[in-house]
Amino acid sequence: MSTGGNAQRTHVKWTGQLGRDLTARFARILCVFATSCLTVGTARATDGLEPIDASMQARARGGADVGVGDTALSQIENAASLSLRSREAVSVDFSGQLLFTRLHWDGPIDSATSHGEFPLVNVGAAFPVDDRWTVGVALQSKSGMGSSYTMRHLLIPFMDRRVGSDVKNASLSLNIAYQVTDKLSIGAGVRAEAATAEFSAVLGPADVEFGRGFAFGGGFNLGLHYRATLDVSLGIAYRSPSWFGDLDGGEMGASMFGVLPLTLGDGRIKEFQLPQQVSAGVAWDVNDWLKMVGEVRWTDYPNSSFGTMTVGVDGPIDFSMPFPASYKEQWVFIVGAEFKLAEHWTLGVGYNYATNIVPESNVLPIAPANLQHHITSGLRYEQDNWWVGVGYIYGFDSSTRADGSSDVPLGIDFALSGIEHQQHSVFMGFGFSL
């Protein structure tokens, strides 16, 4: 009996040591993976981190708004545009968008498809103070997407495993604009942001989970709008990085070959940060029935958490380590037009091109290939104190295949895989003055 008891205690001790060894080994891998998932996953909305634009009018003309500023939602892109609102009434504008995505992942031994519908909602209001000052407030759904696959993997070929993600990011901004002269307006604002994410994936022989985590932070906005002539307007805007605390609160777990599940502890991304952005745009009223618009945006992903970050685990073994997400900077080029069809009807059309930000060594199934080409259209009806409109965006199919390597440790499947992304969306909006 004594010998059997010793053997049992030895077996329990060995099993416990195995669990601790596996925890130490895969805690680092899981943290790196969770970090890369967050950065790639958050970037799955139509235009990099975010949809093409905030307002119905801007989406219809390809996303250009910095040089136009024709709604209370325009303050999100350029705070100075608040000066263009009516001095006699409070303006309120709403926009909603529904994204439809189809993602197809082609792995080394299996493939799977993920379908999704993702709603985004924005609302803004502008309050005139006097002949020079206007204040505004805006709520923006900056992103809200996810993926879900069930498939076999190279080192776990005997069972289907779920791979997926769910990421959301929203902001609330308070802005103020001052009309310096009849031609020049300047604006500034502050914003509060919240981000949340959860993930599930397979790394080589390990099945890993990142429970839902949260982060809260903020930043500031600056803008300028200048009416060069009666027909030509220019706009420049700067959005600071969004500085967060740690993105944490999610419990992390892992299992080897689909068995022996382990709880590793709480994971976090230290000092999570979203990128800064600079935009410049122009609007030209060619005649009474035609307006032409153009805009250029630069987003600095490399100097945010999408370039390099520090991740950590609070668990049986606490540690921190740097991880290079390696995102590239993004340039967006927009051209669009609005046609006055009748006294109350306006048609908007546009084209939006965004450079690819995801390197081939960061292809992951929890995020699609980066869409680059978009065509947009929208029709709205306007009265003196209210308007309503609808529109459609088509994102041309995009695909990315890994270059035979992966930045993710044990990302064997990722190095030998590719992904195809199909996406389109419908949107609507309405607004009124009080």
pLDDT digits 0-9 by tens, 393-407:
999 988 888 888 887
Please report, for residues 192, 229, 365, the alpha-carbon distance to residue 331 in angstroms, rounded to integers and kept in the order given.
25, 28, 24
Whether 40 contacts 301, CB under 8 Å: no
Mean pLDDT of the chain: 84
How do residues 129-140 score in pLDDT, each as one tens digit? 999 999 999 999
Q: What percent of the chain has pLDDT over 70?
A: 86
What are the two backbone dihedrals, phi and then psi, of residue 59, each rounded to the nearest 5 degrees? -60, -40
What are residue 320's DSSP bridge partners? 312
Q: How far apart are CA 141 and CA 49, in angstroms?
A: 11
Which pLDDT value is given to residue 43?
Answer: 34
What are the E-state strand segments in 289-344? 290-299, 308-314, 319-324, 330-340
What are residue 236's DSSP bridge partners? 224, 280
Whether 297 contacts 250, CB under 8 Å: no
Q: How far apart are CA 276 and CA 220, in angstroms?
A: 10
Q: What is the CA radius of gyration of the chain?
A: 24
- Does residue 408 or residue 348 have the better pLDDT? 348
User: Token digits for 323?
Assistant: 């991880």
Write down the pTM of the prediction: 0.86
- Range of weakest confidence among 120-124, 211-215, 223-227: 211-215
Neighbours of 296 (CB within 10 A): 15
Residue 41 pLDDT greater than 70, yes or no: no
Q: How far apart are CA 77 and CA 189, in angstroms?
A: 11
Considering the domain 2-433, what is its CATH architecture? Answer: Beta Barrel (2.40)
Average pLDDT of the segment spanning 302-313: 81
In which residue are the tokens 């596996």 written? 22
What are the two backbone dihedrals, phi and then psi, of residue 76, each rounded to the nearest 5 degrees? -65, -40
Domain boundaries, the chain: 2-433
